[in-house]
Amino acid sequence: MIRKLTTLSLKHTTLALLLTGSLTAASLPTGMAQAAGEAVYITSASYFTISQAALSSSSLQFAVSLHNGDQNAIDFNQYGVRVTDTSGHSFTAKLSEKKSASVLPGQDTSFRFYANLAEGESADQLKIDVFRWDAGQADFMKHLGQLPVSSALGEGQVTVPEEIINLRTLDSTLANDASLAFQLGQSVRVSENGKWYLYTQVSAKNLGSSSVKLPAALQFRLVDANGLKYASTYANGSSTTFLPSESDTLTLKTPISKQMAMSGASLEFYYLNQTEDVTLGNMSLNASLQTTALNTKQKYSGQQDGEQMTVQASSSQYSTQADGVHVQTVVTLSNNGEASAAIPSFIATYQVGDSGTALSAADNTARSAFLAPKETTTFYFNAILPSGTDPNAAQLVLWEKTSGTTGAGNGGSTGSAGNTNNTTSTNSASGDTASTTAGTNETSESATVSTGSGTTGQMPVAVFLLKGASEAKNGFTTAASYLIGNKLTLTDNSIVNKNVDVSLVELHAHENDDLGYKTAIAKYKITNNGSNTIALPELQNELLDSSGNSYTGTRQSSVTTQLTPGSSYVVSYSYLLPNRKTADDEAFALNIYDDKSVSEGKVSLGTYQVALQKEDEGDTIDLYPFSLKVNDESISWLYSGGSYSYQLNLDLDITHEDQVIIDSNFSTIEFDMVDSLGRIVGTQTSALVGTGKLTSGKQKIVVTGLKNEQVDSGVVVNMYEVINTPNGTAKRLIKQFH
């Protein structure tokens, strides 16, 4: 049964208030109660113990348990605790929870406390002083004994700075136990719009029994080693509701000068008390400041509780070109957990030097919304750095796009003078109050710099150092071996569906003597192995020669848009090549790439060794997916009604070798009749599909309407494969008839 508790008298409270502040710990008189081992006894059957101690850089959390072995209830309000150190200083211990102070016979009750300490206190220096309120004593306290903090430190102590803030100090309407334990995450120094900022992640755990939000009075600032203060704003999390015993993360954004040294900087919690600011806590940023080396995994800071996501810059390559230094960094996101995790939207910037130069890079690849357990997804970030830049000295800042939040108005004061903050705090149970002695907090005189805005649509995830970036090699020398007709093994990408196979089935060239270049024509077989109709992928590709020159492929003008399950389609690309005639000019590297998903440059999906195929010298012509065998040929001319005609007589066997879809977009066949002077005197067009197509058997190709002077006994007929591209007509000579 819970009894109603009596309150401490006004006289006791007033006297206790007068005594709190800068008192050092008094000598401990010997009384009826004494400390025995790690317990402080009230009677032979009832005693206090300490447990669950957690020590950070400037605060201490602990629990004091009252074990009642007597026959009557014990009122905990009759007792108090404070923290003392070996130098004689004392620090106020504040209850961080609200509960009944009555401990019934045979009952054990634990009371949670926290205390703000001076910097540099260690566990072996600290003790918990247990006392009974006694108006007959000089300090109104009858000291019962001390409990060593070191004996109660639990395993897995925090290794990063932590501060516990009693929110009731900032908002008197909150519950007595409303408090948050702040712990530092990573801090990164980044450039935005030519200015430098420090983003700091802070985890906050609700130690109270009710949900709370951050009080408007709570403010933050960055203090450098010289005492200069830089006002911080909320970049994210200012409106977060912190559930009881739950943690959440907020991010602070602080404008800083580019010359500011990060060593010795700290994050300060404070509030404004009329005309002066009151410091609530201070955490060193030394262990928080973070940059990550190439090929080093880092915990993804934006993940949800229970997720195990990591990010790393797995490689970075660059090439020096006329317009600057082209750089590409590959970032991988890995899900090491046992459940699917949401894939964030990442963008990046390249930071160069201290000038604040930041070059944007984006990967716009279409991805699924979630990453399955043990899977990895890859992001490619390309940019052109200014000429003369050393890529090894640059940094890649990985950002996550957010919906955009507006920071709360955390401003800094100017020219704050030193002040001594002597306050009295309460440790209360069920609303009844008992006071303990507070220590002193001193601040030195310093100047304040206050600038910045808290509005952002992106949050920094990591800063990767590009030291170790390698110079990109010529794709011609690194291309993989490849046999025409085999499947092209492409890296994971959003251009080619995972159920699609792509093969290069043909690569020929034609000399264009009059135009000063030759045309290469490549045909790709694209097969849908899935169970659904998909869009035909648009392959971006190029031929690379041994000198590193690139010749971009141009796709035929018209193609089908959909590819049904179990079907294959042939699409042609043309390449304009220099009209040189050396053996080396027949060998190339075929580079399949994606230039749609990145903001600058391109991402290679695979590079392969290929060579121009020799034209058939026999009677059989390979015209994928057809094979044409010429059994007989002859050329004659006719005169009728004042008009001359040439006639090419052919006897053909046409075989459809591979059952792929052929439609009206397929290449056509053109017959050009050329006289002995090299002039085209007539042209006739045919097809292998559709109306009027060439078929097996005897064919007649007729050119009519010739003038008398165009009749020439030295005429030849050139047979071309013709492909229409956005850049014009591409022609490949496949046979010549005399």
pLDDT in tens, 51-66: 878 776 667 878 899 9
DSSP code of residue 439:
-
> How far is 304 from 684, CA to CA, in rounded Å?
68
**Least confident window among 516-530, 579-593, 684-698:** 579-593
pLDDT at 513: 56
pLDDT at 619: 84
Report residue 92 as tokens.
Answer: 């106020």
pLDDT at 261: 86
> How far is 307 from 337, CA to CA, in rounded Å?
6
**Are 456 and 235 a contacting pair, CB within 8 Å?**
yes
565: left (phi over 0), alpha (psi -120 to 50) or beta: beta
Alpha-helical regions (H) of 472-624: 475-478
Residue 502 to residues 379, 484, 497: CA-CA distances in angstroms? 23, 11, 10
Look at the block and give the residue holding tokens 């408007």: 216
Mean pLDDT over residues 11-26, rounded? 33
Integer Rg of the chain from CA: 41
Neighbours of 37 (CB within 10 A): 10
pLDDT at 726: 78
**Are 255 and 226 a contacting pair, CB within 8 Å?**
no
pLDDT at 52: 78
Torsion of the alpha carbons at 346, 351, 357 and 363, rounded to the nearest 10: -30
Question: Comparing C-alpha atoms, which of 22, 112, 59, 20 is closest to residue 269?
Answer: 59
pLDDT at 396: 95
575: which residues sit within 8 A by CB, 6+ positions away?
519, 520, 521, 522, 542, 543, 551, 552, 553, 554
User: Would you say residue 210 has pLDDT above 60?
Assistant: yes
pLDDT at 35: 41
More confident residue, 31 or 571: 571
> Residue 736: beta bridge partners?
718
The pTM is what? 0.66
More confident residue, 662 or 628: 628
pLDDT in tens, 670-719: 998 888 778 888 888 998 888 878 889 998 888 776 666 666 667 888 88
N residues, the chain: 738
pLDDT in tens, 212-241: 999 999 999 999 988 899 999 999 888 999
pLDDT at 410: 40
Preceding amide of 625 cis, omega within 30: yes
pLDDT at 179: 85
Highest mean pLDDT among 382-396, 441-455, 658-672: 382-396
pLDDT at 453: 39
> How far is 329 from 125, CA to CA, in rounded Å?
50
pLDDT in tens, 557-566: 888 889 999 9
The SS3 assignment for 76 reads helix
Q: What mean pLDDT value characterizes the chain?
A: 81
Report residue 591 as tokens.
Answer: 């580079």
pLDDT in tens, 147-171: 999 888 765 444 445 777 888 889 9
Report residue 31 as tokens.
Answer: 């009384």
DSSP code of residue 5:
P
Give φ, ψ of 581 to 5 degrees.
-135, 70
